Amino acid sequence: MAEAHDLIVIGGNAGGLSAAVFARQSGLERVTVLERGATLALPGVAGEHGLEVAYGETVTSVDVDGEDLVVATRRQSYRSRAVLVALRTSVEGWSPSIPSVGGDRVHIDRIPTPANDVDVLVVGHTDHAVELTVRLADLGAGVVLAAGGMNPLRLSPVGAQLLNDLERERRSTLLYSSSPQQIGEVDGFPMAYFNDRRTPDLQFDHVVFSSGRRAVGPEHVGATEAALASGRVWFLGTVDETPPDVPSAPGSAIGRALLEAVFPDAAIPPPEPSVRSRHDVVGVTEELRAEHYNATITYFEPTHSDLWVLRVRPDHGSVSHLPGQYASLGLGYWEQRIDDAIESNIDDRWDKLVRRSYSISHRIFDEHGYLADESGADELEFYIVLVPPTPDNVPGLTPRLALKKPGDRIYLGPKVAGRYTLAPVIDPSDTVVFLSTGTGEAPQNAMVTELLRKGHHGPIVSAVSVRQWADLGYLDKHRQLEQRYANYHYFPQPTREADIPKRYLQDVIRDDVFAEQFGVTLDPANTHVFLCGNPSMIGLPEDGDDGERTFPQTVGVVQLLVERGFTLDERKQRGNIHYEEYW
C-alpha cells in the first residue's frame, strides 16, 4: 500500500494554497493539491514551495479507512492523514452592486482574451479578486485592482504576499480604499467613475468584476459522517449547512489552525508578531523598506523648507507618460515624521504604506541647457509641498517625505495615468493658457516644455498663484523660457507680498490682465485653458437632479470662462476648459 500523504488540499485557490504552503514550511513532506481545473489560481506557488498538484481531479467522496482518510476522485483515490476542503463556488444570481454597462468588455470572473498589453480594472476586495489580478498581471495586462473595503489582514497569506510583490514590482496598481460607483461607456470602452478626489475617473480596455464566493459544505465532496467525526477533515470558511462541530477557519488562519489541531508535533513557525510588537524588533524598518519600496530618490532639492523638487527612479518598469499625467508615491507609516502629529489608529497601520497621487513635473532644461526631452528618461520629477497637520486632518505622506534625501528608498506606483494632457491642442497656432495654484504648477511645467519643444508658435501663458515669491520653485527656469521664446509668458502672482497687490487668478481673468500685459486675448474660438490646483480657483459646477448645473458660491475660473463662451472638456462633450483637481 502506498504511503499516505500528510495533507491533501481539495481546491487550488489562494486559501487552499496558503494552507498547503504553511504545511510545507512546518515540515510536512507530502502535501498534495487536487485541482479540478487545468491550472491553479496562483500557478507559480506550487513550484516555489514544492507542492504536488494533480489537475483535473473532481472529488467524489472522503471517507475513513483505518488510520487514513481516503479521498476518491473520478480518476483514482488518495490516502492522507488530513484533508482540507478549500473549494468555493460562485453565489447564484450574483451581479455587481453598482450600475454597469454590459457588452463584451465588462466581465464577471472571466479573464479577457487576449489579455496582454491591455488595461484592465478588477473590482473586488477578496482573495478571488487577488487571484484575478495575479493572473492578469502574469498574462501581461496592465491591472488596476479597485479593492475598496479590502482588509489585507483577512486575505490568505499567499494572496497577500503575491499582491505585495505585484505592487513592489510595479505590475499592478492597488486601490485599497477606492471602488468605482459606476461603470459607464465612452467611445466604446468602459469608464470607471469613482466620484471621489482620491481616485480620478479612469478608462480601461476591460473591466472584470470579482463575484461573491461561498464555501462548500461536506455534501459537496461526499464527506461521510465517519470522516467528519475524525476531526481531520477541515473546511476553508463555513457555510450554513456545515455541522457546528466540523472544524473550519478563514483563509488567513486555516493553515496554522489545521496543523495545530492535527499535527501537534510539526515544526510550526511562530506567529507573525503583531503590528504593535514589531515596533521594537531590531531591523524591522529595513525589512519593511525592502518589502515595500521599489524606487530610489535620485534628487531632492528644497526650494525652501516646506517645498521640494524631487526625482524618483524605479527599480522595475517604465516611466513613460504624457505631459500632465500623474503617478503615486508612498512611504511607510513606520517612517519618522518631521512634526509631532500622530495619526489615528497608527498602531494598526504602522507597517503599511501611505500613498498619494502627484502630478508629474518636468526638468524644463537638460544638463546642456536645451529643452529637456523626458521621453527616454528613467526617472520622474515631482513638485511637492509640505502639508501641515490640522485638527481635522493629519497628513501621512509629506511630513515623512520632508526627512528624505537622495539615495533614500520610496514607493512608486505602476500606473501613470490621467486625461489632463495636451491631446486637445492640435493647432500649433492656438492660444494656450495655464492657470495653477501652488504646486499645481507641476503638470503645467511639463506641458509648457512639450509645446515649446515641438514648435508651438501660438501664444502660451502660464500664470501661477502662490503666497510668496519663495514659493515659486521654477521661477528662474520660466524666466529663461521667456527670454528664449517670444510667444511664451510667465505670470506669477504672489498674494502675500507687501509690495504686490493681492490678486487671485479669478481677478486676472475678470480684468483681462493677459490682454493688457501680453496682448493675449481669451477667445473661445482658438484658446485652450488648463486649470490645476485649488478647487475654489477652478470652481467646477455641480449637476442637479433636474439636469441644471450650479456653480459654487465662490466664483471660480470655470464660471468666468463659461460666461465668455468657453465649454468644459468632459468625456461626453469635448470643450476648451481642461482641469485637474490637484487637492
Are both 543 and 489 inside the same structural domain? yes
The answer to whether residues 462 and 450 touch, using CB atoms and an 8 Å cutoff, is: no
Which H or E element spans position 453?
Answer: helix 441-453
**What pLDDT does 244 receive?**
61
Handedness of CA 339, 341, 343, 345 (dihedral sign): positive
Alpha helices in 336-381 (DSSP H): 346-349
Q: Which residues pair with 425 in a beta bridge?
A: none
Q: What grid cell was written down for 232?
A: 481531520
The answer to whether residues 186 and 102 touch, using CB atoms and an 8 Å cutoff, is: no
Domain that holds residue 250: 5-88+215-262
The reply to whether 171 falls in a domain is yes
**What pLDDT does 177 receive?**
79
**CB-based contacts of 290: which residues, under 8 Å, 6+ apart?**
none
Are both 195 and 75 inside the same structural domain? no
Residue with C-alpha cell 460607483? 181
**What pLDDT does 273 receive?**
64
Are both 140 and 200 inside the same structural domain? yes
Q: Of 385, 412, 439, at which residue does a domain stop?
A: 412
Are both 489 and 528 inside the same structural domain? yes
C-alpha 145 chain-centroid distance: 7
Query: 401-432 burial by CB neighbour count: b if 16+ within 10 A, else e?
Result: bbebeeebbbbbbbbbbbbbbbebbeeeebbb
Are both 233 and 297 inside the same structural domain? no
Are both 447 and 468 inside the same structural domain? yes
Query: Which CATH number fits the domain that encloses residue 163?
Result: 3.50.50.60
Give CA torsion, residues 506, 512, 514, 516, to 10 deg. -140
Separation CA 157–CA 148 (nearest Å): 19
The reply to whether 443 falls in a domain is yes
Separation CA 462–CA 489 (nearest Å): 6
Query: Which CATH number fits the domain that encloses residue 453?
Result: 3.40.50.80
Are both 80 and 222 inside the same structural domain? yes
Query: What tens-digit pLDDT sequence spans the chain (583 residues)?
Result: 567 899 999 999 999 999 999 999 999 999 999 999 999 999 889 989 989 999 999 999 999 999 999 999 999 999 999 999 999 888 888 999 999 999 999 999 999 999 998 999 999 999 999 999 999 999 999 999 999 888 777 889 999 899 889 988 989 988 887 899 999 998 899 999 987 666 778 889 999 999 988 888 899 999 999 999 999 999 987 655 555 667 777 777 888 889 999 998 889 888 776 555 566 666 889 999 999 999 999 999 999 989 999 999 999 988 999 999 999 999 999 999 999 898 888 888 888 899 999 999 999 999 999 999 888 889 999 999 999 999 888 999 999 999 999 999 999 998 788 889 999 999 999 999 999 999 999 999 999 999 999 999 999 999 999 999 999 999 999 999 999 999 999 999 999 998 888 999 999 999 999 999 999 999 999 999 999 999 999 999 987 777 788 999 999 999 999 999 999 998 778 899 999 865 4
The reply to whether 169 falls in a domain is yes
Which H or E element spans position 193?
Answer: strand 189-193
Residue 397: closest CA among 304, 310, 335, 485: 335
Total number of domains in the chain: 4
Q: For 8, list phi and psi in degrees, rounded to 5.
A: -110, 130
Are both 29 and 151 inside the same structural domain? no
Are both 388 and 437 inside the same structural domain? no
Query: Which CATH number fits the domain that encloses residue 408?
Result: 2.40.30.10
Residue with C-alpha cell 505670470? 491
Separation CA 170–CA 253 (nearest Å): 28
Are both 443 and 575 inside the same structural domain? yes
Are both 225 and 238 inside the same structural domain? yes
Q: Of 351, 378, 412, at which residue does a domain stop?
A: 412
> What is the crossing angle of helices 157-168 and 284-292, to 10°?
70
The reply to whether 99 falls in a domain is no
**What pLDDT does 281 receive?**
65
The reply to whether 82 falls in a domain is yes
Give CA torsion, residues 69, 71, 72, 78, to 10 deg. -90
Q: Of 383, 412, 441, at which residue does a domain stop?
A: 412
Alpha helices in 26-102 (DSSP H): 44-49
> What is the crossing angle of helices 127-138 and 14-25, to 10°?
90
Are both 186 and 226 inside the same structural domain? no
The reply to whether 267 falls in a domain is no
Q: What is the reported pTM?
A: 0.80
**What pLDDT does 385 receive?**
95
Concatenated DSSP letters of 391-405: TTB--SSHHHHTT--
